[in-house]
Chains A and B, each alone.
Chain A
Amino acid sequence: MEQGYITDQELLNLIEDVEEHAMLKAPGYLKQQMLQEIRQMEQSQKTTAVKNVRHHIRKQMILYEIKTISGIAAALIILFLMPISAQNQQNMTKEEYYAQQEQSATSGLNKVTEGIMEHVNIITDRVWNLPKKQDVLENDNQKQGPMKEE
């Protein structure tokens, strides 16, 4: 046999030659073995297909859950950071209304950050055993004269 695959004509010649001179009976158990292999192949294909479908559904569910939670979180944020007074809304102009929204949003944020900074200062003071802020201010006042209190 030549290297590489045989040509179509050579194949036909081989088939003819084998059919005329060299036909053998295949072993009886061979067919059962082949059918068993095919059944196993089909079974594993079905299992893989089911797994893929389950994986896809699970992915879709997770995406849906993320979207739902994000929507709820956004609604809560808007609800608590930007309170609206119904009565005031009726008497306000557009400019006054937007100004009020901006003020309430920024004042809310300022309160949150001030609270955080106060706690951070308390912790750092304890760690480094620093004198309290009031004591420092009083000392400064004594050196520089009276200061405007904020």
Chain B
Amino acid sequence: MKWSLKVNISALIDQYQNLIFSICYRTIGDYFAAEDLTQDTFLSAYRSLDTFDGENEKAWLCRIAVNKCTDYLKSAKRRQEPMDIADMPELQSKEGLPEQEAYEKVVRNTLLTYCQSLKSPYGEVAVLYFHEENSPEEIAIKLHRKLKTVQTQIYRARSMLQALYRKEEPKWNKDT
């Protein structure tokens, strides 16, 4: 079981990355920090595969993720209550969307708003990469820029977006 997990780390990521990312975002409310913590979770899991007993890998991965989120919040000296879905005003759905879809839409719209708020040339790169999930090569072709330039702009846009997420509190978390 352990060997198969090691060999199939790719399959493990495919199966659980959405759940782990969702848990991280739900816990800390920061899109890019959630990305980093998701990555850290799977890397830690890969390193600890030898000590894993092979039972209930979902709970095991989620435990790693939650503990990392706790450590992140402690180091950032932030205390945030997990988002209560019922408190999110946008989810009192005007469009009649299911709660799950409405939630995802809110998160995606927030990301898009932040990306669009960046000044050129970072704004358009951020929208194409982080919101529309184009590859750097595709962005370079669309925007007629060099690949290296686009990669640098993605890196810088990410730093700016991280700062925006940390600076602004989530709209639904009015208590902190």
A37 closest partner in B (C-beta):
B43
- Supposing A11-B63, A24-B104, A25-B104 touch, asked if A37 and B22 sit within 8 A by C-beta, the answer is no
A5 touches B66 (CB 8 A): yes
| Chain B interface residue count, Cβ-Cβ cutoff 8 angstroms | 44
Instruction: Report the bound CA distance from A28 to B20 in whole Å.
Output: 14
Residue B166 at the A interface, CB < 8 A?
no
Which of B38, B104, B130, B133 has a CB less than 8 Å from the CB of A23?
Answer: B104
Residue A29 at the B interface, CB < 8 A?
yes
Residue B79 at the A interface, CB < 8 A?
yes
| Chain A interface residue count, Cβ-Cβ cutoff 8 angstroms | 30
Interface string of B75-106 (1 = CB under 8 A from A): 00001111101000000000000011001100
A26 touches B62 (CB 8 A): no
Chain B residues contacting A35 (CB-CB under 8 Å) are 9-10, 13
Residue A61 at the B interface, CB < 8 A?
no
B17 touches A38 (CB 8 A): no
Q: Is the interface of A mostly helix, strand, loop or mixed?
A: helix
Interface hit among B23-31, B118-126, B141-149: B23-31
Instruction: Report the bound CA distance from A90 to B14 in whole Å.
Output: 89
Residue A27 at the B interface, CB < 8 A?
yes
Which of B9, B18, B130 has a CB less than 8 Å from the CB of A25?
Answer: B18
B26 touches A18 (CB 8 A): yes
Interface string of A40-51 (1 = CB under 8 A from B): 010000000000
- Supposing A11-B63, A31-B14, A35-B10 touch, asked if A23 and B22 sit within 8 A by C-beta, the answer is yes
- Supposing A1-B27, A1-B82 touch, asked if A22 and B22 sit within 8 A by C-beta, the answer is yes
B19 touches A15 (CB 8 A): yes
Residue A12 at the B interface, CB < 8 A?
yes
Chain A residues contacting B46 (CB-CB under 8 Å) are 38, 41
Residue B117 at the A interface, CB < 8 A?
no
A residues within 8 Å of B by Cβ? 1, 3-6, 8, 11-12, 14-15, 18-31, 33-35, 37-38, 41
Which of A1, A19, A27, A38 has a CB less than 8 Å from the CB of B130?
Answer: A27
A5 touches B35 (CB 8 A): no
B133 touches A29 (CB 8 A): yes
Q: Is the interface of B mostly helix, strand, loop or mixed?
A: helix
Instruction: Report the bound CA distance from A55 to B85 in whole Å.
Output: 58
A38 touches B104 (CB 8 A): no
B70 touches A15 (CB 8 A): no
- Supposing A14-B23, A37-B43, A38-B43 touch, asked if A26 and B10 sit within 8 A by C-beta, the answer is no
Residue B107 at the A interface, CB < 8 A?
yes
Instruction: Report the bound CA distance from A29 to B107 in whole Å.
Output: 17
Chain A residues contacting B10 (CB-CB under 8 Å) are 31, 35
Chain B residues contacting A22 (CB-CB under 8 Å) are 22, 25-26, 83, 85, 100, 103
Instruction: Report the bound CA distance from A68 to B38 in whole Å.
Output: 57
Since A14-B62, A24-B21, A30-B21 are in contact, a sample of 16 more A-B pairs with Cβ atoms closer than 8 Å, ordered by chain A residue number, is A1-B73, A1-B82, A4-B70, A14-B23, A18-B19, A21-B100, A25-B21, A27-B21, A27-B130, A31-B10, A31-B13, A34-B39, A37-B39, A38-B43, A38-B46, A41-B47
